[in-house]
A = this chain, B = another copy of it.
């Protein structure tokens, strides 16, 4: 069996031309640009909790980095570098090769360089810490939503949850939409370009990992504000169109794993936001309004209040 060092060298060493000192020392070294702040986020994916044990390693490599890049996107930060800690039951080349390929394909697309890490024997899990840069004072935070702001979401919602329910056998999906749904679950697209493009026009942002209601609530709590969402304006993924209305709503409001951006911006920024969306090739939709009254209210297109019980996916709850 190859040693730990052989494995790291073989699958995880790439040239890092933009990095002062990359893998191979006690630490990596970055040289921050003047006027830039460093944005940092960390996510861990555990087998059996965040992904099935038999998940295609290429998709897992992609998704492990994608969920972290999505956090940078939500701050409007440009990806710079990441560390990877990988716990593996055995040093398995047939797994490591596609995993590293999926990981690096996304990393290279965003010029985000692997600068350090740790490979160890243990139950399968992937822990990534990502670093980005954003001009000082321009980061999109959760606590800056203002009363009157539009609430926007990117892309479409609910596909990843529908795909998960399909894989668990609780719903059936037509072959023509199944592939699209699975792509949303297994190969999510972090909205990095959109996050950077709306940075100067939006007030607050978050990425949707736990579900719209739970994640938007973080913006509301931090910004000491409330909101009304018009459920008839939610951008339902195509895979949901043939599903029951209640299932659609649950997927869109509390499905989780969307990795779309939810952000707030003044009404005066609408044109700029739409132009940013056009330039980055990302769909966006206004789904509600930030209000003074605390709490999150759901209405339909007629303005009638809508009830909804489920809130968010919690890794420690016994769902």
Q: Do B84 and A142 touch (CB < 8 A)? A: no
Binds B, one of A121-129, A230-238, A275-283: A121-129
**A20 and B42 in contact, given A27-B74, A83-B129, A132-B27 (Cβ under 8 angstroms):** no
Write the nearest CB–CB distance from A140 to chain B, whole angstroms.
8
Write the nearest CB–CB distance from A2 to chain B, whole angstroms.
8
Q: Do B32 and A84 touch (CB < 8 A)? A: no
**A41 and B28 in contact, given A50-B120, A123-B123 (Cβ under 8 angstroms):** yes
Does A318 reach chain B (CB closer than 8 Å)?
yes
Write the nearest CB–CB distance from A279 to chain B, whole angstroms.
22
Q: Which residues of chain B have C-beta atoms less than 8 A from A123's C-beta?
A: 46, 122-123, 125
A118 to B129, CA, bound (A): 10
Q: Do A48 and B122 touch (CB < 8 A)? A: yes
Q: Do B42 and A120 touch (CB < 8 A)? A: no
A81 to chain B: closest residue by CB: B40
The interface bits of chain A over 29-62 (1 if a CB of B lies within 8 angstroms of the residue's CB, else 0) are 1111010111111111011111000000000000
**A7 and B316 in contact, given A40-B28, A44-B85, A118-B43 (Cβ under 8 angstroms):** yes
**A27 and B39 in contact, given A21-B141, A125-B125 (Cβ under 8 angstroms):** yes
A209 to B121, CA, bound (A): 16
Does A117 reach chain B (CB closer than 8 Å)?
yes
Number of interface residues of A (CB under 8 A): 74
Q: Do B141 and A25 touch (CB < 8 A)? A: yes
Q: Which residues of chain B have C-beta atoms less than 8 A from A42's C-beta?
A: 83-85, 116-118, 127, 129
A8 to B29, CA, bound (A): 29
Q: Do B46 and A120 touch (CB < 8 A)? A: yes
Write the nearest CB–CB distance from A103 to chain B, whole angstroms.
15
A80-132 CB contacts (< 8 Å) to partner B = 81, 83-87, 90-91, 115-123, 125, 127, 129, 131-132
**A1 and B31 in contact, given A40-B131, A141-B25 (Cβ under 8 angstroms):** no
Write the nearest CB–CB distance from A27 to chain B, whole angstroms.
4
The interface bits of chain A over 202-238 (1 if a CB of B lies within 8 angstroms of the residue's CB, else 0) are 0001110000000000000010000000000000000
